[in-house]
């Protein structure tokens, strides 16, 4: 049985998760739609014959996403979604109640035989659903069937594929069900569980800006500007060292930011790793060195349109594995992935090729 993942943008970038789960069904008010799951039907002669099994789709909704707009837009979208998908699918809704809840829902849905898991929310919801596909360093699976994950997404990740922020267009992709394998990044460190990302992981100034920006999400994309301004206060470039693909350690002096891209965009549309492709089997790593505050003002347009790789003190390379350590001794070089704060260096990053199937 296949377990698919998909994200829909609603007033921000909601995600929808499909799954076959009696617990999820019991939790939510859509139960009357779910029990109809026929496996046999009668012909005109009265003989039993097999009919195609209806897919079970679990939509994981963050009702507080985009300052509550996600929940409101989801309610408006639901009638269209039922009318478009209800003939062939059982539609199940599960609302998240707090941080990491989408991770738990996703794992449970897959274990109980999910056909597809769809995230309805922003990048944070997407990030949690992707992490829900894994447990203790291994893919989550149904006890009797291989778990095969499929996804098509919204928000910054969707920009890599040129998709519009259009929920109805996303539902059409779900209905067609065309899938393509995509890569997932893995972040590890000593004495901590592995963490997974699908978009961009980043280190130092950009990660610190993301940490502060998360406090101002009520201001929309302006939160990234506010976060960056706050991150610059007291910021200093730091020396770090990296090891790439089992090579030797290299020192990066005066590092401002290091970005590891599985996809191209982060920070509300900044094309930070413009050559990244989540189907390539490797990351694009972009390193900014010795940037001053005025460099960001003067070169911000290049960062957004992806033409910054030709700028002085910007370096790029393709990697399957990269290890990053702090040489400053501060223990305060920030790390984040998909906009979620993960702590501080050191960290190791590697890629899982074709780890999830995406509905495209």
Active site residues per annotation: 123
How far is Cα 105 from Cα 110, in angstroms, rounded to an integer? 9
Give which of 165, 154, 69, 84 is closest to 358, Cα–Cα.
154
Q: DSSP string spanning 116-134? A: EEEEESSHHHHHHHHHHTE
The 3-state secondary structure of 161-198 reads HCCCCCHHHHHHHHHHCCEEEEEEEEEECCCCCCEEEC
Give residue 300's Cα distance to chain centre. Answer: 24
In the chain, alpha helices (H): 22-27, 69-85, 101-111, 123-132, 155-161, 167-176, 205-213, 222-232, 293-305
How far is Cα 105 from Cα 77, in angstroms, rounded to an integer? 21
HSE (CB half, 13 Å, CA atoms) of 248?
A: 2
Measure CA of the first residue to CA of the last residue in the chain; give whole Å. 19
Give, for 85, the enclosing helix (H) or strand (E): helix 69-85
Contact 23, 56 (CB under 8 A): no
3-state secondary structure of 10: coil
CA angle 327, 197, 9 (to 5 degrees): 135
How far is Cα 303 from Cα 223, in angstroms, rounded to an integer? 17
Strand partners, 185: 197, 351
3-state secondary structure of 234: coil
The DSSP letter of residue 53 is: P
How far is Cα 60 from Cα 67, in angstroms, rounded to an integer? 17
Contact 4, 118 (CB under 8 A): yes
């Amino acid at each position: 049985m296949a377990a698919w993942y998909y994200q829909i943008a609603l007033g921000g970038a909601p995600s929808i998760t499909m799954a076959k789960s009696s617990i999820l069904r019991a939790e939510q008010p859509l139960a009357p739609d779910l029990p109809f799951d026929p496996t046999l039907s009668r012909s005109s002669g009265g003989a039993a014959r097999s009919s195609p099994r209806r897919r079970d789709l679990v939509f994981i909704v963050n009702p507080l996403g985009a300052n509550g707009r996600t929940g409101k837009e989801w309610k408006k979208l639901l009638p269209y979604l039922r009318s478009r998908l209800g003939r062939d699918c059982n539609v199940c809704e599960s609302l998240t109640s707090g941080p990491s809840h989408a991770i738990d829902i996703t794992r449970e849905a897959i274990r109980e035989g999910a056909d597809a898991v769809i995230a309805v929310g922003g990048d944070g919801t997407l990030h949690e659903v992707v992490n829900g596909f894994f447990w203790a360093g291994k893919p989550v699976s149904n006890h009797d069937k291989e778990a095969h994950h499929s996804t098509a997404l919204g928000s910054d990740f969707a920009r890599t594929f040129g998709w519009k922020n259009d929920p109805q267009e996303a539902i059409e992709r779900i209905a067609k069900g065309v899938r393509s394998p995509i890569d997932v990044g893995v972040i590890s460190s000593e004495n901590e569980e592995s963490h997974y990302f699908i978009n961009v992981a980043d280190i130092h100034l950009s990660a610190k800006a993301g940490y502060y920006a998360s406090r101002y999400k009520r201001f929309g994309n302006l939160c990234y500007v506010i976060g960056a301004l706050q991150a610059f206060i007291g910021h200093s470039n730091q020396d770090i060292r990296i090891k790439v693909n089992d090579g030797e350690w290299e020192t990066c002096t005066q590092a401002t930011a290091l970005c590891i891209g599985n996809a191209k965009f982060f920070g509300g549309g900044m094309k930070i790793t413009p050559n990244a492709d989540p189907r390539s089997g490797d990351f694009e790593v972009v390193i900014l060195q010795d940037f001053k505050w005025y460099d960001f003002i003067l070169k911000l347009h290049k960062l957004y349109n992806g033409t910054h790789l030709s700028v002085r003190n910007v370096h790029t390379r393709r990697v399957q594995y990269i290890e990053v350590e702090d040489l400053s001794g501060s223990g305060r070089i920030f790390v984040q992935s998909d906009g979620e704060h993960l702590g501080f260096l050191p960290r190791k990053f590697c890629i899982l090729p074709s780890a999830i199937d995406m509905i495209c």
